[in-house]
Chains A and B, each alone.
Chain A
Amino acid sequence: QKEVEQDPGPLSVPEGAIVSLNCTYSNSAFQYFMWYRQYSRKGPELLMYTYSSGNKEDGRFTAQVDKSSKYISLFIRDSQPSDSATYLCAMSYSSASKIIFGSGTRLSIRP
Chain B
Amino acid sequence: GAVVSQHPSRVICKSGTSVKIECRSLDFQATTMFWYRQFPKQSLMLMATSNEGSKATYEQGVEKDKFLINHASLTLSTLTVTSAHPEDSSFYICSAMGSGFGSNQPQHFGDGTRLSIL
What residues of chain A lie closer than 8 Å to B41, measured between beta carbons? 8, 106
Contact of A98 among B4, B6, B34, B91 (CB under 8 A): B34
- Chief secondary structure at chain B's binding surface: strand
- Tell me if A107 counts as interface (CB < 8 A to partner B): no
Give A8 to B108 CA distance when docked, in angstroms: 23
Interface size on A, residues (CB 8 A): 22
Task: Closest A residue to B59 by CB, please name it.
Answer: A98
Say yes or no: A44 contacts B106, CB within 8 Å: no
A43 at the interface (CB under 8 A from B): yes
The smallest C-beta distance from A73 to any residue of chain B, in angstroms, reads 18
Contact of A96 among B97, B110, B111, B112 (CB under 8 A): B97
Q: Which of B105, B110, B112 contacts A95 (CB 8 A)?
A: B105
Q: Which residues of B contact A63 (CB under 8 A)?
A: none
A104 to B43, CA, bound (A): 6
B70-94 interface bits toward A, Cβ cutoff 8 Å, 1 = contact, 0 = none: 0000000000000000000001010
B60 at the interface (CB under 8 A from A): no
B interface residues (Cβ-Cβ under 8 A, vs A) = 4, 6, 32, 34, 41-44, 46, 49, 91, 93, 95, 97, 103-112, 114
30 CB < 8 A contacts A-B? A8-B41, A32-B106, A41-B91, A41-B112, A42-B112, A43-B93, A43-B95, A43-B110, A43-B111, A43-B112, A44-B44, A44-B93, A46-B106, A46-B107, A46-B108, A46-B109, A49-B106, A88-B43, A88-B44, A95-B104, A95-B105, A95-B106, A98-B34, A99-B34, A99-B107, A101-B44, A103-B42, A103-B43, A104-B42, A106-B41
The 9 closest A-B pairs by CB, nearest first: A43-B109, A95-B104, A43-B111, A101-B43, A103-B43, A43-B112, A49-B106, A44-B109, A101-B44
